[in-house]
Amino acid sequence: MKNNQAIGMFDSGVGGLTVLKAAEQLLPHEQFIYVGDTARMPYGPRSAAEIVQYSNEIADFLVNQFNIKLLVIACNTATARALPTLQERLSIPVIGVIDAGAQAAAKASPEGKIGLIATKGTVDSKRYQEELADLAPQATVLAQAEPDFVKWVEADRFEDSSLQAAVDQHLAPLKDAAVDTLILGCTHFPLMADLIQTAVGPSVALIDAGKATAQFLKEYLAEHGLANQSQTVGASRLFTTGDLAAFETIAQEWLGQQPGRKIEHLDLSQTQV
């Protein structure tokens, strides 16, 4: 294993870019290869078997084409459904987003009321609820699926203030229940953080599971001697299985310009070996 190999990352679409952005900021000496499986998103309503299959295909692409040193599942739904399979199948470390998110929420509200918004797949998997039952047994957890938020983000409407009333309405049950902490348990949701914060009120702590994961990644690389020691770092490469122009617009808006960063279309059916 060479420390100057890239780190792989994937999501069903643009959501994982929230993890990528945090990771790029914390780890400027690492190269990231990102896949957004936009052609097959949303993952939220899909079966566990489908998500495991898609995750395996993407992981194989990243391992075979880029010889990545570590894989980050930058998607809560894929973490909930495919993390153990990928950890078993791959010979490199695989990190998901749920552990770090649950830990950050437990720390923020050990005895309080924790809200969770995520996809249906993540909510139904009960992964967050089970982790929080262990980490913060005194806390109450209220979980709510928010598939519409994923659609709005993918449609580049994450800063569209005309959606505020709809977001308020969606989150009213959590506001009425007086949650003090809200886990953004879908990597798409931090793009909508302003709309979400306005809906629940300024006193509610938003937990960005992606940011917490980027911090964990930094510590993991250091502890396992995997951090890149070389001064030369390749620019990130981003792939989408869906519409390139739409993905590019959101990626550039969210990540800003980075010299050398390449955004390409990927046809996974052409990459299977």
Which residues are known catalytic residues? 75, 186
Q: Take residue 33 and report the two structure tokens written for it.
A: 């290869």
- Give min distance, CB of 4 to ligand DGL, in A: 29
- Selected from 119, 125, 236, 240, the binder of ligand DGL by CB under 6 A is 119
Is residue 102 part of the contact set for ligand DGL (CB under 6 A)? no
Q: Take residue 160 and report the two structure tokens written for it.
A: 């569209």
Nearer to ligand DGL among residue 39 and residue 227 (C-beta): 39
- Give min distance, CB of 12 to ligand DGL, in A: 3
Is residue 23 part of the contact set for ligand DGL (CB under 6 A)? no
- Give min distance, CB of 41 to ligand DGL, in A: 4
User: Are 52 and 121 contacting, i.e. CB atoms less than 8 angstroms apart?
Assistant: no
Q: Which of residues 186-205 bind ligand DGL (CB under 6 A)?
A: 186-188
Nearer to ligand DGL among residue 9 and residue 226 (C-beta): 9
Is residue 125 part of the contact set for ligand DGL (CB under 6 A)? no
Nearer to ligand DGL among residue 55 and residue 187 (C-beta): 187
**What residue ranges bind ligand DGL (CB under 6 A)?**
11-13, 15, 41-44, 75-77, 119, 122, 150, 186-188
